[in-house]
Structure 1
Amino acid sequence: MIEAGAKADFDFTVKAVHNGEEKEINFNELLDKPTIVSVYMKNNTSGCDRQTKDLADESSWFKKHGYNLMAISKDTCGSHKRYAKKQGIDFTLVSDPDYKFAEATDSIVEKKMFGNEYEAPSRSAFVIDTDGTILGTVEKVNTKDHAGELKELVESLK
């Protein structure tokens, strides 16, 4: 996984949903201020729901402290639109079925499910500056207190 202080290459296009609107955009353009990116696997699954709902409940704290919030998964923008409405999410949800973000942050890991092995992004989070510099990471997200662990990380960066 990419380390704090390293600069990642986010020069790739993604589809994103914000305020119910879908757009195709260069990922760098989403970094218009320091941004927290939370990586999760799939909408409407228990752990991922806890992770994103916890962030949604605390999104005003991050905004007040000058950070954009963003969550990213392989789900489609159509799924993200429904999910944002259902979960009360007021931040950007990015669709990344090709794992471009995970490749840029060297966060693809081997996983097992039902005896099958596969590669996928790790459940992780990144604090990223406007120039793509990684300010901090959470390598293993605590789905029950994701906002809390990110608040601690943000406070430690001051």
Structure 2
Amino acid sequence: MSQSRPDIGDIAPHVTLPRDGGNSVSLSDFRGKPVVLYFYPKDDTPGCTKEAIGFTEMVDAFDAAGAVILGVSKDTVAKHEKFSAKHGLKIALLSDAEGDVCERYGVWVEKNMYGKTYMGIERATFLIGADGKIARVWNKVKVAGHVEEVLEAVKAL
């Protein structure tokens, strides 16, 4: 079961993961910039696709605000690349195939669908300030309006 979820004011747990395109990304690469770290269940599912496209459509506004967007799921780098190419995504997708980062952020949770219980990623977003501390947390994210709300929070930092 997941560790407790980091909260506002906590130092963001370290992240180094492989990304689409073949490189690895570390949170420390972005020290001094706000980072939007969002966790999503699975590439190419309706909600996850809508969320990734939403962040892609607003990527210039996030760039203008100085922020970086990183999406994380347990999908492989190859699946991320296929998903990204299919939808023209302009955000980095990180592969947490082992689930270590999902565990450290407390998003690997027991879920329930149609009476069946299983483990999966809860859609959640963490806004990490330029100082490496968590500035905002959105749990159990509903996709509609979420990207705009996150952008407003970035601008308010």
With the length of structure 1 as denominator, give the TM-score of the two structures.
0.85
The match for 2:12 is 8
Aligned mates of 1:134, 1:56 — CA distance in 2: 22
The match for 2:133 is 133
Q: Kindly report which structure 2 residues correspond to 1:18-37, keeping only aligned pairs within 5 A, or say none.
A: 21-25=21-25, 27-32=26-31, 33-37=33-37
The match for 1:59 is 59
- Shift of residue 130 of structure 1? 4.9
Structure 2 residue identity aligned to 1:117: T
Structure 2 residue identity aligned to 1:101: V
Aligned mates of 1:140, 1:153 — CA distance in 2: 17
- Shift of residue 31 of structure 1? 3.0
Counting aligned pairs with the same residue, the percent is 28
SS at match of 1:22: coil
- Shift of residue 38 of structure 1? 1.4
The match for 1:74 is 74
With the length of structure 2 as denominator, give the TM-score of the two structures.
0.85
- Shift of residue 53 of structure 1? 0.7
Aligned mates of 2:118, 2:131 — CA distance in 1: 32
- Shift of residue 131 of structure 1? 5.2
Structure 2 residue identity aligned to 1:81: E
After superposition, the CA RMSD in angstroms is 1.9
- Alpha carbons 1:41, 1:48 under 8 Å: kept: yes
Structure 1 moving runs of 4+ over 4 Å: none
- Alpha carbons 1:36, 1:128 under 8 Å: kept: yes
- Shift of residue 115 of structure 1? 3.2
5+ unaligned residues in a row in structure 2: which ranges? none
Aligned mates of 2:29, 2:120 — CA distance in 1: 23
